[in-house]
Amino acid sequence: MFDAPRDDAAPARDGQDFALLTGMGDTKNLVSREAVAKIKDIADNEIAMLCTFTRDRAMEARPMGTQRIASDGTVWFFSRKDSAVNQQILANPAVQLIYMVSGKSEYLSLDGTASISHDQAKIDELWNGLAKAWFPEGKDDPDLTLITVTLLGGHYWDTKNGKMISLAKLAIAAVTGKPREHGIEGALKV
């Protein structure tokens, strides 16, 4: 994972605080194809909080629709040519993608390097009708660009059972005093 700009006094992001809050404790680190499969399982066609870093080292996040995740872990988003996100990526290509699939209680934090392009063949391949809401001229809109994120790694948290079953198991464990089944978390190396 890359070293994102941060204050030296900021706590490390290692998942332990989240595990204490959620009761997750089983760890399964994933590498290569397994890591990409987990990323696709959680994030494909979901909304990401795409985080970039400003010149003064502040993080800025905005929701972006994930267009596709390739078998090598490359992630694509549509963006506007003159958008702040494009300008920030051009100034500093380090990005973080954060996914929360609340219905399934799955969470994902990914680190990567982003680039901006106007690859018309890839735009044609990824184009869908929903994108027309942002790009009314369609896939030939001159303001349409692609953000391509090459993933380095990240971390995932998965409750195994989804939100409702996890909450029910938590309630049963609280009443009976018996430990509940934990979810799984782990590092991802693409």
Per the structure, the complete domain to which residue 155 belongs is given by 26-118+145-189
* Residue 127 covered by a domain: no
Name residues whose C-beta falls within 8 Å of residue 84's C-beta, 6 or more positions apart in sequence. 60
* Residue 6 covered by a domain: no
* Residue 10 covered by a domain: no
Query: Domain holding 60: CATH number?
Result: 2.30.110.10
Round to the nearest angstrom and report the end-to-end CA distance of the chain.
10
* Residue 129 covered by a domain: no
Quick: pLDDT tens for 130-140.
898 999 999 99
* Residue 162 covered by a domain: yes
Residue 171 φ/ψ, nearest 5 degrees: -65, -45
Q: Is the pLDDT confidence value at 59 over 80?
A: yes
* Residue 135 covered by a domain: no
* Residue 75 covered by a domain: yes
Q: What does the alpha-carbon distance between residue 106 and residue 163 come to, in Å, rounded to a whole number?
A: 9
Number of domains in the chain: 1
* Residue 33 covered by a domain: yes
Give, in degrees to the nearest 5, the angle at Cα 3 between 59 and 27. 100
* Average pLDDT along the chain: 80
Quick: pLDDT tens for 34-58.
999 999 999 988 999 999 998 888 9
Cα torsion through 125, 106, 166, 182, rounded to 10 = 130
pLDDT of residue 170: 46
pLDDT of residue 71: 93
